[in-house]
A and B are shown apart, each in its own frame.
Chain A
């Protein structure tokens, strides 16, 4: 790597001569090596799906979660280092509950995400700190505007609002797949199926480590974890569809 040994990559307080901050870029690399996450804003809500790579065959299903609720109207998925992500989750919960306490209404998604991104950004400003090796996708409902939104907060402190976004190992492929979808025509169930399929599509089951899918969605004004049964069905359906498509491709080749 061009940056190593130059001395410009030792602290997030140092710019390289061409204006980059290597510590922040390394943090993004930690996210890029994690399981794929996909977020979709659909017709009547927002769907978050993430691939949790299992480090041991002895893990109990559903442990060390990557998808968390922040408040009644908001939730997020974590891509990257789980423990770093949990730091963002804790802060998100704190911000959300403080907001209700002072203003008497649920935090508007933009405000919640701006505050969360300021928090992430703060960790890129001090020599004694390191940036978070995690990206958070926040799905939330705006109770005043009656609207759903999807934001992605990155280690640099950037936070953009998306119709669809992806992070982790398969993000490039996932993004091209997401662009093909007609998001405004999909319901939450259809969005879940599409997101699950995209995540599965980015995998190579012969090569990749075993994984478990996790999903959350924001619908009917509330955030909730996708029920296990619904997610299992979507996963099964996704796998079947992908196999069918593969078979058809092979037929065409012959």
Chain B
């Protein structure tokens, strides 16, 4: 009954083919002065069945550029593979470290050119020498928007108000991490297709830190 189950879900997951795995998801990325924090839940579902409860929806594109995936797991994995490949080529040709802008632009291009065959909403974020920490949101149709606070996936609809209230300009790294964890916890509580644990990825000039919060320690509530 996977096809039937899909028809009840958000516009994002209703695009899935029968039986296709969805990362029906909550993802988020927020830049702060000097870096960026990316976060995601860990649930992968086929309709009502949870295919994976500890998946990693934050994919690495280059040493300091990451991407949060939502939509079809297969599509977004293939997309990130392509972008990673093109970015590597770019780094070899120019002899420089890839920039978030170039990474997001490549992602946007592939998403837009194949929009009829893809169900993928991604958020590209990371740190580079040119722009510091930056985040680009690339939703379903293939638009690309630079954002100060990007959220995505089915769970994001529940936390627009929360993130608007929590996000302030020039937050510290600790404040940003706390805000991301809090927001995703609240999305996971309300959204049936988000859940499991929270994975975060903090990127700044000095490197990458990856963390997770187990499902019984979520910072849900006031």
Contacts and interface: CB of A to CB of B under 8 A. Distances in A.
A110 interface: yes
B143 to A, nearest CB: 13
Contacts of B130: 144
10 contacts: A102-B109, A103-B105, A104-B101, A104-B105, A105-B99, A105-B105, A108-B96, A110-B94, A111-B93, A144-B130
A145 to B, nearest CB: 8
Interface size of A as a range: under 10
A150 to B, nearest CB: 18
A102 B106 contact: yes
A103 B90 contact: yes
A105 B90 CA distance: 12
Interface string B97-138: 001011011101100000000000000000001100000000
B30 to A, nearest CB: 22
A133 to B, nearest CB: 29
Contacts of B105: 102-105
A103 B102 contact: yes
Interface size of B as a range: 10 to 19
Nearest to B93: A111
Contacts of B90: 103
Interface of A: 102-105, 108, 110-111, 144
Contacts of B101: 104-105
Given A103-B102, A103-B106, 18 more contacts: A102-B105, A102-B109, A103-B90, A103-B105, A104-B101, A104-B102, A104-B104, A104-B105, A104-B108, A105-B102, A105-B105, A108-B94, A108-B96, A110-B94, A111-B93, A111-B94, A144-B96, A144-B129
B218 to A, nearest CB: 37
B64 to A, nearest CB: 15
A110 B96 CA distance: 12
Which of A102, A103, A108, A110: most chain B Cβ within 10 A?
A103
Which 7 pairs, one residue from A and one from B, show the smallest C-beta to C-beta distance?
Answer: A104-B105, A103-B102, A144-B130, A108-B94, A103-B105, A111-B94, A104-B101
